[in-house]
Chain A
């Protein structure tokens, strides 16, 4: 095992609370597939009411550069194309599909559990396939993966870093995937390496997932030819180890310059679930229609990981995990640090739904907010070296020149500052507000 590495600046260590167990659950009669499942423009619907769709059939085409295709996660008839309240709390366009019991796969998709080790496609074809299959970053940000894999002219990708840190407390979906689909995942890493044109792949993984580290190490050792160039790098359990910039810093020691993309440091960072999806897409031509979702919380009866098709309402997953406990006041889409509370529990699961977290009143309630005592804990915790107390103040005063001067746009919204604040100030709320406003001002200025 390689020595443990970590990023230096800031970070916190919240309670881990990782539970896991795997279960199946009955699929509902109707699934609701949102058309906007990625960062950027939502897909354009290409099916009409009454159409019969097959599993894996394209139902929404990407609109614009940063956008991803949407495929049907089930076989059935389109009941309607309407709006649904998704996890953001807003009504968004979605396709409602009345499901048939038996899956009928769209032509061209290879339905097999066999491990396919031979990568037939070349670099360009791999990226095209990733684009076609609508693969996005499945850690939660849902940035289209094909955009990430396209290395711009004049730049060279040196490393492919697989982000298996899963630093968010409670979430275990990537960990389960690593344990269950180890070989497929490693082939996926090879495909990404071939896609971006490099022969070095590093899997960054936190030490609280020792069984996965050992399993990956053993698998790579057992097939040295097949998995040549792939390395497992244990990382210290510290939040936000899985932040894109933090994992690059931890593994390569390089720092992404302010306002630049990770490719500046010669790194392409891909999530575990996305890597597995890339394997499925390239080897089996299977589009992204399912993922592993963690349903967890301290009060829940059976904290579980579900292999879940997109479009399944979240309350069904909660039901399958033992039902909604009584004193739940907060349902979070994603992890506790970066996830956002939802307005309804019936929101459909989608590409970015890594977890559904149920918080009791005791855990979720806002503590009484007091004045800033200038202790500087937030500045110490900030992994980007910012001064959250200052950003909070100037954002509150609507002074967006000052927020820009203090690099608010470099904030990765990890929430470490708010986590450490002894005065319980909602620092991140104000910083997010300031970041959105400042971003809009910068965008307007650049367009002039």
Chain B
């Protein structure tokens, strides 16, 4: 009995030792020289591999940062949407590049109230499939289906469907602007926009490029392409895409004038302070901004 034990211990021990030597030799022989900075830089990144930076994953971004730092001495243009790039820059002994934090915005306000349901849908709850069957509950062929393809895809749990409006809502604290939802949406409703100074941003909350008459038929808050905002904008930041106004975030100075003139309330100005102190101060990512109402009231 003790003999068997001894034999197996010796055999396995010798085998282990021999293989350890082999492994050591191989590891030395085929060693891949890697910059230890890459590991350090990667440790600063969130590790979600969301692809929001434009690279295959966090390690790929870390590699790119180290490479660019060595070649150009900066990390401009490389940014993880979910991290403070100063940390990565500090590891590399640099200051962070210019980076604007981004956020996903849902460009549809066709809630149950604004675009009342005309048909009832029963079937697989996939937006991409449902949109092959019909235009949508409210009849708008460019509007949100509300079945939550974007919610299912979000790596950060930053989206949920509001049961009252039937539309996805972005949690500004959780959203890192990686753009997975924007790529998933079969109708391209979600756009990744800069968060803006003091988190203030102005955007057109509609994606319908159809003629005004068609939009009015199905939705009370859709953009009808009247171009009032275009004429109002002092910075020429608004352009027409078909029959839809689009605010170029690069040119927009977030003055909020366009939101005031929009006859449909389709332009949303987020996080602007209300003019009167008794009004609620901030309504982050509220489906409808009170700006227009308070001004007219």
Contact = CB atoms under 8 A, between A and B. Distances in A.
B134 A343 contact: yes
B141 interface: yes
B123 A343 contact: no
Contacts of B141: 89-91
Contacts of A426: 123-124
Contacts of A432: 129, 132
A429 interface: yes
A341 interface: yes
A340 B129 CA distance: 13
A436 B132 contact: yes
Contact of A83 (B124, B128, B132, B214): B214
B118 to A, nearest CB: 7
Given A83-B214, A91-B210, A343-B119, A433 B135 contact: no
A88 interface: yes
A86 to B, nearest CB: 10
B122 A343 contact: no
A437 interface: yes
Contacts of A436: 128-129, 132
A372 B124 CA distance: 15
Contacts of A366: 122-123
A83 B119 CA distance: 20
Contacts of A419: none
B123 A88 contact: no
B130 to A, nearest CB: 9
B180 interface: no
Contacts of A90: 134-135, 141
B133 interface: yes
A430 interface: yes
B139 interface: yes
Contacts of A179: none
Nearest to B137: A343
Interface residues of A, number: 20
Interface in B114-147: 118-120, 122-124, 126, 128-129, 132-135, 139, 141
B133 A433 contact: no
A330 to B, nearest CB: 9
A344 B119 CA distance: 8
Nearest to B140: A91
Given A91-B210, A343-B119, A432-B129, A85 B139 contact: yes
A89 B135 contact: yes
Contacts, number: 52
B134 A88 contact: yes
Given A366-B122, A429-B123, A437 B128 contact: yes
Nearest to B128: A433
A433 B130 CA distance: 9
Given A83-B214, A343-B118, A433 B134 contact: no
A83 B118 CA distance: 19
B128 A343 contact: no
B188 to A, nearest CB: 15
A329 to B, nearest CB: 8
A140 to B, nearest CB: 15
B124 A430 contact: yes
Given A91-B210, A91-B214, A433 B129 contact: yes
A114 B129 CA distance: 48
Interface string A85-125: 10011110000000000000000000000000000000000
A426 B129 CA distance: 12
Nearest to B124: A429
A341 B141 CA distance: 16
Contact of B133 (A91, A340, A344): A340
Contacts of A344: 118
Contact of A341 (B133, B139, B210, B214): B133
Residue of B120, B128, B134, B141 ringed by the most chain A CB atoms within 10 A = B134
A430 B128 CA distance: 10
Interface in A335-393: 340-341, 343-344, 365-366
Interface string A424-442: 0010011011001100000
Nearest to A432: B129
A426 B123 CA distance: 6
Interface in A401-448: 426, 429-430, 432-433, 436-437
B214 A433 contact: no
Nearest to A342: B134
A426 B135 CA distance: 20
Interface in A57-97: 83, 85, 88-91
A83 B213 CA distance: 11
A94 B124 CA distance: 30
Contacts of B128: 433, 436-437
B134 A89 contact: yes
Given A432-B129, A437-B128, A85 B123 contact: no
Interface in B179-220: 210, 214
Contacts of B134: 88-90, 341, 343
A89 B132 CA distance: 9
Contacts of B120: 329
Contacts of B122: 365-366
A366 B122 CA distance: 7
A98 to B, nearest CB: 19
Contacts of A343: 118-119, 134-135, 139
Contacts of B119: 89, 341, 343
Nearest to A89: B134
B216 to A, nearest CB: 13
B129 A89 contact: no
Nearest to B152: A398
B62 to A, nearest CB: 28
A135 B134 CA distance: 26
A237 B214 CA distance: 46
Interface in A305-328: none
B180 to A, nearest CB: 13
Given A90-B141, A433-B124, A433-B126, 10 more contacts: A83-B214, A85-B135, A85-B139, A90-B135, A343-B135, A429-B124, A430-B124, A430-B126, A433-B128, A437-B128
28 contacts: A83-B210, A83-B214, A85-B139, A88-B133, A89-B133, A89-B134, A89-B135, A90-B134, A91-B141, A91-B210, A91-B214, A329-B120, A340-B133, A341-B119, A341-B134, A343-B119, A343-B134, A343-B139, A344-B118, A365-B122, A366-B122, A429-B123, A429-B124, A429-B129, A430-B126, A430-B129, A433-B124, A436-B128
Interface of B: 118-120, 122-124, 126, 128-129, 132-135, 139, 141, 210, 214
Q: Which 9 residue pairs across A and B have the least CB separation, nearest first?
A: A89-B134, A429-B124, A433-B129, A366-B122, A89-B135, A429-B123, A343-B119, A343-B134, A90-B141
